[in-house]
Structure 1
Amino acid sequence: MKLSICSWHSRQRGAATLVVVMVLFLVMALLAAYANRSLLFEQRIASSYFRASVAQEVAEAGVEWTLAQLNGTAIDAACKPVDTGGQRFADRYLLINTADRRISPADTTLDCARDTANEGWSCRCPATSAAHTAQTAVAGSDLVPSFNIGLQSGNRGGTLTLKALGCTDSVADQCDSAINMVAISKNQLARTNLTVKIGLVGAVRSPPAAPLVVRGDIASTGAGLGLHNGDPRSAGQLAVMGGSWTGKVDGRLESVPGTATGQVVIETDTTLADTSLTAEGVFKMFMGTNLARYRKHPALRTVTCASDCATALETAYTAGQRILWVQGNLRIASSKVLGSVSDPVLIVANGDVTLAGPLQINGMLVATGALAWSNDSAMPSVVNGMVLVGGGMATSGRMDVIYQQAVADQMRNRLGSYVRIPGGWIDIN
Structure 2
Amino acid sequence: MSAISRPRILAPQHGAATLVVVMVLFLVMAMLAAYANRTMMFEQRISSSYFRASVAQEAAEAGLEWGIAQLNGEAINGSCEPVPTGGTRFIDRYLSLSVADRAIRQSGAFVASTLVDCTRNGNGWTCRCPALGAWAAPAPAAGTAVTPSFGIRIQPLNDAALPSGAGTVLLKSLGCTQSVVSTCAGGELNSRAAQGAIVHEALVALVSAVRSPPAAPLVVKGDVTVTGTGLGLHNTDPRSAGSLYAIGGTVTGFNESRLSSVPGTSPSQARIAGDDTLRDSPDVFKMFMGATRARYLQHPSLRQVTCSGDCAATLAAAYAAGKRIIWVNGDMTIQSSQTLGSVSDPVVIIAGRDITLSGAFRLNGMLVAGRHVHWSNASGGSMIVGMLLAEGNVTTAGVMDIVYQPAIADQLRNRVGSFVRVPGGWTDDNVQ
Q: Could you state the TM-score of these two structures normalised by the residue count of structure 1?
A: 0.94
Q: For the residues of structure 2 that align with 1:395 and 1:113, how far apart are their CA atoms? A: 52
Give deviations 1:204-262, integer Å, cap 9, x for gaps: 11110110100000011000111000000000001001111111111111000011222
Out of 116, 120, 126, the position equivalent to 1:115 is: 120
Report the counterpart of residue 135 of structure 2 in structure 1. 132
What is the rounded CA distance, in whole Å, between the counterparts of 2:135 and 2:323 in structure 1?
Answer: 28
2:59 matches 1:50? no
SS at match of 2:364: strand
Partner of 1:359: 361
1:324 to 300, 312, 326: 326
Q: Which residue of 1 aligns with 2:386?
A: 385
User: Corresponding residue for 2:99?
Assistant: 98
Alignment of 1:332-371 (within 5 A): 332-371=334-373
- Take 1:384 and 1:186, find their aligned partners in 2: how far apart are those partners? 63
Once the 2 structures are TM-superposed, how far is the Cα of residue 300 of structure 1 from its aligned partner? 0.5
Q: Distance in 2 between matches of 1:231 and 1:328?
A: 34
The answer on whether the counterparts of 1:220 and 1:247 sit within 8 Å (CA) in structure 2 is: yes
Match of residue 163 from structure 1: 172
Structure 1 CA distance for aligned equivalents of residues 106 and 390 of structure 2: 36
Instruction: Give the residue type in structure 1 aligned to 2:348.
Output: L
Shift of 1:185: 5.0
SS in 1 for 2:56: helix
**Is the Cα contact below 8 Å between 1:227 and 1:401 reproduced in 2?**
yes
Provide Cα deviations, 1:339-391, integer angstroms capped at 9, x if missing partner. 00000010000100000121100000000110000001x23110000010000
- Given that residues 299 and 417 in structure 1 are in contact (C-alpha distance below 8 angstroms), is that contact kept between their aligned partners in structure 2? yes
Deviations 1:134-157 (A, max 9, x none): 111002342111111111112311
Q: Is 1:143 paired with 2:149? A: no
Stretch deviating more after TM superposition (332-341 or 141-150): 141-150
Amino acid at match of 2:356: T
Residues 359 and 25 of structure 1: CA distance in aligned 2, closer, same or farther (over 3 Å): same
8 A Cα contact 1:207 1:286, kept in partner: yes
Partner secondary structure for residue 272 of structure 1: helix
| CA distance in structure 2 between the partners assigned to 1:124 and 1:69 by the alignment | 12
> In the TM superposition, what whole-angstrom CA distance separates every residue of 1:12-61 from its partner, at most 9, and x where no partner exists?
2x222222122112111111110110010011011001101111111111
Distance change (3 Å), C-alpha of 1:300 and 1:383: same
Distance 1:105 1:111 in 2: 14
Gaps of 5+ in 2: 1-5, 158-163
SS in 1 for 2:277: coil
User: Is this contact kept in 2: 1:113–1:144, CA < 8 A?
Assistant: no
Q: Give the secondary-structure state (helix, strand or coil) at the position aligned to 2:279.
A: coil
Return the alpha-carbon distance in structure 2 between the equivalents of residues 408 and 4 of structure 1: 122
The 1-side partners of 2:405 and 2:256 are apart by 20
Paired residues in the alignment total 415
CA 1:35–1:211: 2 relative to 1, 3 Å: same
Letter of the 1:289 partner, please give it.
Answer: A
**CA distance in structure 2 between the aligned counterparts of 1:191 and 1:26, rounded to whole angstroms:** 42
Is 1:307 aligned to residue 298 of structure 2?
Answer: no
Aligned twin of 2:395 = 394
CA RMSD of aligned residues (A): 1.5
Amino acid at match of 2:403: I
Moved more, 136-145 or 324-333: 136-145
CA distance in 2 between partners of 1:309 and 1:132 (Å): 40
**Is the counterpart of residue 240 in structure 1 residue 246 in structure 2?**
yes
Whether the 8 Å CA contact 1:198–1:419 is kept in 2: the answer is yes
How high is the sequence identity, in percent, across the aligned residues?
55
Hey, what's the Cα distance between the residues in 2 that align with 1:102 and 1:417? 15
Measure, in 2, the Cα distance between the counterparts of 1:314 and 1:201.
Answer: 24
Shift of 1:415: 0.6
C-alpha separation in 1, matches of 2:29 and 2:84: 71
Q: Is the 8 A contact 1:52 1:192 kept in 2?
A: yes
Contact kept, 8 Å, 1:250 with 1:261, in 2: the verdict is no
Query: Are 2:266 and 1:260 equivalent residues in the alignment?
Result: yes
User: Scaled by the length of structure 2, what TM-score is found?
Assistant: 0.93
CA distance in 1, matches of 2:168, 2:7: 104
CA distance in 2, matches of 1:131, 1:272: 51
Q: Is the 8 A contact 2:120 2:148 kept in 1?
A: no
Q: Is the 8 A contact 2:120 2:149 kept in 1?
A: no
Distance 1:54 1:369 in 2: 51
Q: Distance in 2 between matches of 1:418 and 1:99?
A: 18
Counterpart of 1:223 in structure 2 is 229
Which runs of structure 2 are paired with 1:174-253 in the superposition (5 Å)? 174-178=183-187, 181=188, 184-185=190-191, 187-253=193-259
**CA distance in 1 between partners of 2:41 and 2:137 (Å):** 34
Q: CA deviation at 1:2?
A: 11
Q: What does 1:77-88 align with in structure 2 at a 5 Å threshold?
A: 77-88=78-89
3-state SS in 2 of match to 1:419: strand
Is contact 2:57-2:197 (8 Å) kept?
A: yes
Classify 1:3/1:70 alpha carbon distance in 2 versus 1 (closer, same or farther; 3 Å).
farther
The answer as to 2:77 corresponding to 1:71 is no
Write out per-residue CA displacement over residues 57-114 of structure 1, whole angstroms, 9 at most, x where no aligned residue: 1111111111111110000011110001101111111101111100002435233343
Q: Is the 8 A contact 1:69 1:90 kept in 2?
A: yes
